[in-house]
């Protein structure tokens, strides 16, 4: 239905078809969550939104997910990441989310990155960097030492990846690029 978000109970997560053997459980979970983000993005397009989807997982279980609601609600602040983050805080009845992971297809923008940081979300996973509007790669919101305490950011965490690490506030931000062949397979 237009404008509605699905909860975890409304869909079944599955290991992606053809997932290579030998992957760690975390890699398979990241890939499964990214697949769900793509499904949400497709749903959003059908509802007249831009193709963005976000999932919040609490200790490995989906607790909130969303598409963009910018067009349907005529509100530029209704990005998928913010909608999902808000829903997760309501479900868990807490503003801090250290045991949660935010999954998004595209690197969260600064507007989405700062609330994720303020919520102390444990980890951020995204497939595509955004060199113009990225809240990590361009604007460094997720790891700036001058802001509130950090989050851990993975631009994927899936399979074979390129990794780098930067010191950030009270912790470390590690980056690993989502393998291009994995994203193509999901599309």
Which residues belong to the active site?
81
Cβ atoms of residues 47 and 3 within 8 Å: yes
Separation of alpha carbons 127 and 104, rounded Å: 7
Exposed, middle or buried, 129 (CB in 10 Å: 0-12/13-18/19+)? Answer: middle
Separation of alpha carbons 62 and 11, rounded Å: 10
The pair of structure tokens assigned to 142 is 């997720």
- Classify 22 in phi/psi space as left (phi over 0), alpha (psi -120 to 50) or beta: left
């Amino acid at each position: 239905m237009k404008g509605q978000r699905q909860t975890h109970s409304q869909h079944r997560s599955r290991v992606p078809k053809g997932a290579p053997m030998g992957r760690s459980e975390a890699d398979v979970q990241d890939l499964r969550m990214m697949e769900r983000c793509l499904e949400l993005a497709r749903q959003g397009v059908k509802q007249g939104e831009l193709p963005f989807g976000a999932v919040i997982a609490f200790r490995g279980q989906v607790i909130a997910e969303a598409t963009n609601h910018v067009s349907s609600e005529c509100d530029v602040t209704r990005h998928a990441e913010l909608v999902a983050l808000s829903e997760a805080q309501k479900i868990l009845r807490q503003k801090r989310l250290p045991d949660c992971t935010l999954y998004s297809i595209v690197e969260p923008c600064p507007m989405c990155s700062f609330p994720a940081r303020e919520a102390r979300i444990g980890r951020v996973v995204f497939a595509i960097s955004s060199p113009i509007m990225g809240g990590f790669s361009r604007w460094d919101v997720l790891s700036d030492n001058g802001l509130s305490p950090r989050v851990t950011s993975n631009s994927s965490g899936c399979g074979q990846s390129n990794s780098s690490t930067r010191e950030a506030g009270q912790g470390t931000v590690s980056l690993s690029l989502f393998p291009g062949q994995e994203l193509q397979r999901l599309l």
